[in-house]
Amino acid sequence: MSPDLLTSLGLFAGGVVLLLLGGDLLVKGAVALAERHGVPPLTVGLTLVAFGTSAPELALNLAAASSGATDLTFGNMTGSSLTNIGLVLGLSALVRPVKVQSSLLRRELPVLLGTVCLLLALSWLPGALGRTGSLGLTRADGAVLLCGFAGFVWMLLRAAKQPVRVGAPLAAEVSEAARSEPLMSWPLATVMVLGGLALLGIGGNLGEEGAVGAALALGLSQQLVGLTVVSLATTLPELVTSIMAVRRGQTDMALGNIVGSNIFNLLFILGTASLIGTVPLPPGGTVILLAVLGFTLLLFPLSITFDWTITRPEGLLLLTLYLAFMGWQLWLGLAAT
């Protein structure tokens, strides 16, 4: 193993650790500050908690977009979506069958499906929003994605005002997460917020530099590294949260966490990265987007076939399909070197 590769892997590993620590500090401190100022737990959950769990991915991808490593951004966002459904949901269902609330099937899952279709349209439709040149996401496309995210948050806030029996599972989940944080003094909370932001900034830059360096050292594309290694690392919060939820018997929260994370990643993070600079569609990008679409569509029949439950065999199916697709992508990437 070359010294350059070892250095890059060390930078990436250190960056991921700082990202995870920074995201945890940020969300705990921000929740405490908001609660001390009388902000309702639900509002805290839908904003600060939801943002904090994806803060590592946001920081890394903003750093990548700022430095022009847009293939890494595309690979990470699409790879995280595949990892959430195939790996995180698959493993969660293997631990315990995952119950599906009908409200999620009526609202959040269609939003996720619409988001993936929107990405395909914005990436491919010729002349969309007056675009000329190569395929991909422009700043105008990023603005469209961010508008979609604002609409999604509005939908959650509106659904959360309904009775619990028809309330949005994502809203219930993040509200519960907000309430679970202990109240702390405002000086400590402020230090945690500032420290978390600092760690996110440093970790994002280190992670991006390490991932790009590893790709160059191995002769692999940034897209492939983002699709595989970076996605696995940045999906750790969702994996831990979902496994803990199913072990506590809160399996519906596990699915809500996964669906919500995918929507946040594709609309907010990819939209924000596109505002910084154009995110071109890399070679093979269409196949990956179609894979995200396929995994998303698969959630619909899996959710309703066995009494609104994703069973262990179905979890094994998701995991097998995920490993097969990632293995195929790795084989293609290695064959091209």
178 domain-assigned? no
Any domain includes 172 = no
* Residue 147 domain flag: yes
CB atoms within 10 A of CB 232: 16
Please indicate, yes or no, if residue 277 is contained in any of the structural domains.
yes
Residue 96, C-beta contacts closer than 8 angstroms, at least 6 positions apart: 246, 247, 249, 251
| DSSP tally for the chain: helices H, then strands E | 18, 4
- Assigned domain for 179 exists: no
Is beta strand 98-99 parallel, antiparallel or unpaired with respect to 309-310? antiparallel
CATH of the domain at 268: 1.20.1420.30
In a domain, 39, yes or no: yes
| Residue 37 forms part of a structural domain | yes
Q: What does the pLDDT read at residue 288? A: 92
Spatial distance between the Cα atoms of 147 and 235, rounded to a whole number of angstroms: 24
Q: At what angle do helices 251-263 and 169-179 cross, to 10 degrees?
A: 100
The reported pLDDT for the residue numbered 167 is 43
- Note if the pTM is more than 0.85: no
Name residues whose C-beta falls within 8 Å of residue 312's C-beta, 6 or more positions apart in sequence: 93, 94, 97
For 78, 101, 151, the CA distances from 158, given in Å and listed in that order, are: 28, 17, 10
Residue pair 101/109 in contact (Cβ under 8 Å)? The answer is no
Q: What is the pLDDT of residue 47?
A: 54
**What is the extent of the structural domain holding 16?**
3-162+184-332
Residue 174 within a domain: no
Q: In whole angstroms, what is the distance from residue 46 CA to residue 177 CA?
A: 10
The token pair at 232 is 């696995």
How high is the pLDDT of residue 93? 92
Q: Which residues pair with 309 in a beta bridge?
A: 99
Residues written for the chain = 337
Closest listed residue to residue 34, CA positions, set 169, 151, 146, 174: 174
> Which pLDDT tens digits describe the chain residue by residue (337 residues)?
566 778 888 888 888 788 778 777 876 777 677 677 766 554 555 455 556 667 777 877 888 888 887 888 888 889 989 999 999 899 999 989 988 877 778 888 999 999 999 999 988 864 444 444 566 888 888 999 999 999 988 887 776 666 544 444 445 544 554 455 556 787 888 888 888 878 877 877 787 778 778 777 777 787 888 888 788 777 777 777 677 767 777 676 677 778 888 898 899 999 999 998 888 888 888 899 999 999 999 999 998 888 888 999 999 999 999 999 999 998 888 777 6
The number of distinct structural domains making up the chain is: 1
